[in-house]
Amino acid sequence: MAVNVEELREIAAQRDRYLGQLNRLKKLGKQTTCVEAAVSSACETLNAGTTSFVIYGEPQSGKTEMMICLTAKLLDDGNRVIIHLLNDSVQLLQQNLDRFQRSNLSPAARNFSDVIDPDYSFASGFHVVFCKKNASDLAKLNQKLERVREKVVIDDEADFATPNALINKGDVTRIGTETSDQQARNDDVIKRIISDLRLSPRLSPRHEAVLAHYIEDMRLSVAEAARVLKPGGKAIYVVGENTVRGTFIPNAKIVSAVAERAGLSSETRRTRVLPANRRYLPPPSTRNGQESLDGRMRREVILSFTKPD
């Protein structure tokens, strides 16, 4: 059987992407010590099971070259899908794409607009994708990646480089929640809780991701309450139950599920109807407003839990 030597060389080169990128930098007369330290630390952190961390670098300190090398190492380590998020600027996106493509990294980096095509598949092979940080693009990319369980997301210039007028108010924009919503949605425990809710009609992928994020927040909150409670201590939650786009969300069932997993025992449950004139946000008088708010929250549930002795 004939052997295609060039094809074998190409396969071998793909297994040494990281070494190839370091050699490229050295041929350009650039020091690689800091790059190697950053890449090594990042990979060790990922291998230890950490799912979110920060790599900090001063402006013009070689962050883009480090990102290229980190991407190469992640690919070498078997990570098939790597997403780079950048500030919402077409010019910045193209600039970074050009630098990645000039590095001859394999596979070549792609614009997110290429991969959301219905014919594009993440089912096999390796993929490096660049996407701007705006809500519309991220929502489309999340939907495309819905069935891709394992992926690495690199948020380039995640701090002050992305304008966010809500930061000083302690609030979060829609853009800032897209990635974390998707991560929560892939959690096995959260998936089981959502499945047990038996929601009908089913939520859209976006609304299900937001629900997953809520469950994750409640799981952390209730776990902390369980930790600080003395044996025999009680925790009481007043939970509003609502409807999203015609789907009833039994939030009390969610709180009960995370409380059970936190080691708390359910003691009592009481439900009360919320009169329209006694709500914190009374339904507006207009017909459309009445439908949008009155249909969302009509009752609350008082749940009591005890920490076993």
Q: What is the CATH number of the domain that holds 161?
A: 3.40.50.300
Mean pLDDT over each residue of the chain, to the nearest integer: 80
The answer on 245 and 175 residing in a single domain is: no
Predicted pLDDT of residue 11: 52
Q: Is the pLDDT of residue 96 over 90?
A: no
The predicted model gives 8-16 an average pLDDT of 58
Q: What is the pLDDT of residue 246?
A: 84
Same structural domain for residues 23 and 161? yes
DSSP state string for 123-192: SSS-EEEEEESSHHHHHHHHHHTTT----EEEETT-STTS--TTGGGT---HHHHHHHHHHHHT-HHHHH
pLDDT in tens, 128-184: 999 988 888 888 888 888 888 888 998 876 544 444 444 344 444 554 555 555 566
DSSP per-residue codes, 33-94: HHHHHHHHHHHHHHHTT---------TTSSHHHHHHHHHHHHHHTT--EEEEEE-S-HHHHH
pLDDT for the residue numbered 4: 57
Residue 35 pLDDT exceeds 80: yes
- Same domain (yes/no): 176, 193: no
Instruction: Report percent pLDDT > 90 for the chain.
Output: 33
Which phi and psi (to 5°) does residue 170 adopt? 75, 20
* Domain membership of residue 274 as a residue range: 188-306
CA dihedral 149, 152, 156, 157 (to 10 degrees): 80
Same domain, 169 and 195: no
CA distances from 49 to 74, 80, 89, 162, 299 (A): 15, 17, 32, 27, 40
pLDDT of residue 297: 66
User: What's at 294, amino acid-wise?
Assistant: D
Name 14's Cβ contacts closer than 8 Å, sequence gap at least 6. Answer: 75, 106, 126
Order of strands, sheet of 152-155, starting from the edge strand that comes earlier in the sequence: 110-111, 127-132, 81-86, 152-155
pLDDT at 86: 85
Q: Which of 154, 180, 206 lies at the terminal end of a domain, its last residue?
A: 180
Task: Report the pLDDT value the prediction gives residue 102, as an integer from 0 to 100.
Answer: 92
Q: Regarding predicted confidence, which is higher, 159 or 33?
A: 33
**Pairing label, strands 110-111, 127-132:** parallel
Residue 124 and residue 23 share a domain: yes
The count of structural domains within the chain is 2
pLDDT at 288 over 60: no
Question: Final residue of a domain: which of 147, 180, 213?
Answer: 180
**157, 180, 203: which is the final residue of a domain?**
180
The pLDDT assigned to 7 comes to: 53
